[in-house]
Amino acid sequence: MYDEDKLTLFFSLEEKKIFLHKKGYTVIRVPVEKEMSVYQNVFRTVLSAHDVAIKDGERFEIHDAFNKEIKKQLLKI
């Protein structure tokens, strides 16, 4: 039997970016420096990046913004 409370949907990062762009968000890639432990007391700084969604001058983590917008759309149905 189908349980509506346990529905899981999977979206790729690219699908999330397209959806947020349609909802008026700007998605940018932000560089991030991370300290990584190589072994014991040896650490290296690694340059990484993550995507950020911006709307009305406010920054959101892309997955949080997507969850917020998809919930709004599902509640309209």
Per-residue pLDDT at 75 exceeds 80: yes
What confidence category does residue 40 fall into, taking pLDDT thresholds of 50, 70 and 90?
Answer: confident
2-26 per-position pLDDT tens digit: 556 677 778 999 999 999 999 999 9
d(CA 59, CA 52): 7
What average pLDDT does range 24-49 have in this prediction?
Answer: 91
Q: Could you tell me the strand order of the sheet in which 58-61 lies? A: 26-39, 42-55, 58-61
pLDDT for the residue 6: 72
